Amino acid sequence: MKYLLKNGRVVNPGGESGMLDILVENGVVAGMGEALFAADAEVIDLSGCLVMPGLVDMHCHLREPGYEYKESIYTGTRAAAAGGFTAVACMPNTNPVCDSEAVVRYILDKAAAQGAVKVYPIASITKGLKGEELSEMGFLQRAGAVAFSDDGKPVENPRMMRLGLQYAKNFDALLISHCEDKALAAGGVMNEGIMSTKLGLGGISRVSEELMVAREILLAEALKTRVHIAHVSTRGSAELIRQAKARGVAVTAETCPHYFAATEEMVDGYDANTKVNPPLRTQDDRQAMLEALADGTLDAIATDHAPHHADEKLVEYNLAASGISGFETAFALSYTVLVKGGVLTQDELVRKMSVAPAQILRREGGVLAVGAPADIMAANVTEPYEIDVSHFQSKGKNNPFGGMTVCGRPVLTMVSGKTVWKNGEIVI
């Protein structure tokens, strides 16, 4: 199929930008320019829209295999498409854990058969996420794993993490660290502070995150290898990363929309949809995330899409599962808070949500150019809309931003030249 995308404003860091038409043919960008014409092409009018490289999410949970009642590759990739993502990297805390070539291949095969977007498996650092024995990273990478993480269960033993970094260095593989000292965080369900005291809920100290961030930085620095810090949430963590980068440490880092669009104040009312790990922090921490995004300390914005069944959230706050279903609100929240809020330019936002994640994972994406795969996203940024979680493509409706008015509704997602999301509907 041949498509001609017209009347949109192309935001394309490092490439052609402006009021350009894009011709898509045979899965690639066949032309970019003003007033293009193709008699046999389907014309898609994108007036009032930004057109950009497809978003790349380097941190999400598709739940399959093992937890399909929460999400599946089928539903999760459709939710990703609805959010403007053309590629997603899924974490290994599945059942069985993604610590074998068989599970990596299963995810890739299932995504090829049923997925709406590209899927990049992330395998575990340790077998079974137990922190006791390293996974066979070389074989897993050869099978298709793009990175390694024990996300949700940090590698608590520093010697094991050091061995993991040393081993990964042999394959130029990336380790992604979920930074949490479990002993310090034990019993906590929200940020530790005045609000947790007021609500009578166990607090999670920011130190539990910052200690592990410091550890990973020191290990990477000593070993002269790279490490990526997941879902940064505190001012202290951002400052540690900032200082490390200034010293030349090969550390990259991400944050998530909920850490710059919300604070612990949202927990007042005990809505379990606000329960996430790491927890929502203070207004000062939120401001620190904005500063760190603006100055480049934080390289990427990831969703940490963590869908749950309603029964796992409709319980007491202490018992509720942690996580936010984030694919379908990530871009709009980011555009509203960061671009309309004057924190980032449109180009800078696309770098954080497309270019940088692709570069960190060393995968294609993040560019619109003649001959490049036609992974394209367009968003209507002129018409505000209200988030309605009941309309999510994801099985998980656990999102605390329902009812919020935002700008940046994704209206078109195209993966390798195939339209998968258009005007509020999945079209595959």
Give the pLDDT confidence score for residue 256 in this predicted structure.
Answer: 99
Strands 9-10 and 49-53: parallel
The tokens for 189 are: 């369900």
Report if pTM > 0.95. yes
Taking only the tens place, the pLDDT of each residue in 121-150 is: 999 999 999 999 999 999 999 999 999 999
What positions carry a catalytic annotation? 304
Query: Count of residues for the chain?
Result: 428
Residue 300, pLDDT > 90, answer: yes
Q: For residue 1, what pLDDT band results from cuts at 50, 70 and 90?
A: confident
Say which DSSP state 336 is in.
I
Amino acid at the residue 108: L
Angle at 395 between CA 361 and CA 99, to 5 degrees: 40
CA 411 – CA 426 distance, rounded (Å): 10
CA 107 – CA 65 distance, rounded (Å): 8
* Average pLDDT of span 204-221: 98
Give the pLDDT confidence score for residue 31 in this predicted structure.
Answer: 97
Residue 294, pLDDT > 90, answer: yes
The neighbour count for residue 222, using CB atoms within 10 Å, is: 11
Taking only the tens place, the pLDDT of each residue in 276-289 is: 999 999 999 999 99
What are the distances in angstroms from CA 180 to CA 59, 223, 231, 273, 312?
Answer: 16, 21, 11, 21, 22
Give the pLDDT confidence score for residue 243 in this predicted structure.
Answer: 98
Structural domains of the chain sorted by starting position, each given as residue range(s) with its CATH number in brackets: 3-50+373-426 (2.30.40.10), 54-361 (3.20.20.140)
Give the pLDDT confidence score for residue 178 in this predicted structure.
Answer: 98
Q: Where are the beta strands (DSSP E) in 150-304?
A: 175-177, 190-191, 203-204, 227-229, 251-255, 300-301
Give the pLDDT confidence score for residue 378 in this predicted structure.
Answer: 98
Residue 401, pLDDT > 90, answer: yes
Taking only the tens place, the pLDDT of each residue in 37-51 is: 998 999 999 999 999
List the one residue out of 179, 150, 397, 375 whose CA is nearest residue 273.
Answer: 397
List the one residue out of 263, 202, 251 whose CA is nearest residue 401.
Answer: 263
Backbone angles phi, psi at 106, to 5 degrees: -60, -45
